[in-house]
Amino acid sequence: MPERKQRGAFIVIEGLDRSGKSTQVSLLEKRCKDAGLPVRLVKFPDRTTPIGKLIDSYLRSDSEMDDHAIHLLFSANRWELAPSIIESLNAGTTVICDRYAFSGIAFSAAKNKPTMSYEWCRAPDIYLPAPDITLFLDVSPEKARERGGYGAERYENAEMQERVEHVFERIGVEIGDGSRWFAVDADREKEAVAEELWERVQPYVKGTEKPLQRLWE
Ligand code: Z5A
Ligand code: MG
């Protein structure tokens, strides 16, 4: 029988503000490298592209934008990187992603606008590459405060974060809580969180033969 081709795994880290996403993606990248596994880090929003620069200006409140328009720009920012993500995966590289489409839905649906339903917010990301596993870093508001509190950017306040958390809960259930989506207690020490993430990614991190799925298929 011909050997089935392995591809890299697509691993997404999601979570609220100050849950330690950026810290953990770096630790995970290092562990992959130390284990001799090819790995690439991606972060959304990617503020370096022309679309990303518009998003950056909006998040810093340097510019205003209609809520629908900024939502579509966040999605466009993912679509512009999607071909290169697929290319990396097909080349056997594990892709670790700091926030993804789930943040897009959660932050926009949390605005509670009648014209921005959950379904509307989800639509532009349909058919993006689907993660093999999503690890949701669950941090309590008390711990987030201890870590320097919320920052100065748009959305960085307790009320918004609470609404965002409720949308994330719904997404987790729909994606497959306990199978393709795992909530991880992110109140613990960095090392303890990193250890759990490393264990969770073990079934995927050495590559997979599973065809890459598309979001919400
Ligand atoms: N957004 C959107 O609206 N639509 C979209 O489609 C997307 C995003 C993709 C910018 O995101 C905003 O864009 C965000 C969502 C929205 N708005 N909000 N809120 P961002 O990812 O660029 O934001 P960020 O500032 O990079 O991430 P963050 O959430 O604020 O932080 P984090 O990455 O989760 O945490 P960290 O930087 O790793 O750690 C924060 C601090 O805590 C730092 O000092 C660490 O050393 C410390 N830390 C980390 N872990 C621990 C533990 N375990 N113990 C103690 N201290 C810790
Ligand atoms: Mg971050």
pLDDT in tens, the chain (217 residues): 556 679 999 999 999 999 999 999 999 999 999 999 999 999 999 999 999 999 999 999 999 999 999 999 999 999 999 999 999 999 999 999 999 999 999 999 999 999 999 999 999 999 999 999 999 999 998 999 899 867 889 998 889 999 999 999 999 999 998 889 999 999 999 999 999 999 999 999 999 999 999 999 8
Whether 16 and 184 have beta carbons less than 8 Å apart is answered as no
C-alpha of residue 186 to centroid of ligand 2, in Å: 14
pLDDT value, residue 4:
63
- Can you tell me which residue has the tokens 């090392």? 191
What is the model's pLDDT at position 3? 63
Q: Report CA(95)–ligand 2 centroid distance (Å).
A: 16
Of all protein residues, the one whose alpha carbon is nearest to atom 40 of ligand 1 is 18
Question: pTM for the complete prediction?
Answer: 0.97
Confidence (pLDDT) at 149: 67
Distance 149 CA to ligand 1 centre (A): 11
- Can you say how many angstroms the Cα of residue 29 is from the centroid of all Cα atoms in its chain? 15
Q: Which bound ligand lies closest to the C-alpha atom of 72? A: 1
Q: Which two tokens stand for residue 153?
A: 């950017």
Q: Using the mean position of ligand 2's atoms as its centre, give its distance from the Cα of residue 147 in Å.
A: 12
| C-alpha of residue 99 to centroid of ligand 2, in Å | 8
For ligand 1, atom 48, the nearest C-alpha belongs to 20
DSSP for 70-113? HHHHHHHHHHHHHHHHHHHHHTT-EEEEES-HHHHHHHHHTT--
Ligand 1, atom 39, residue with closest C-alpha: 20
Which amino acids bring their CB within 6 angstroms of ligand 1? 15, 17-23, 44-45, 59, 74, 99, 103-104, 107, 147-148, 151, 155-156, 189-190, 193
ipTM above 0.85, yes or no: yes
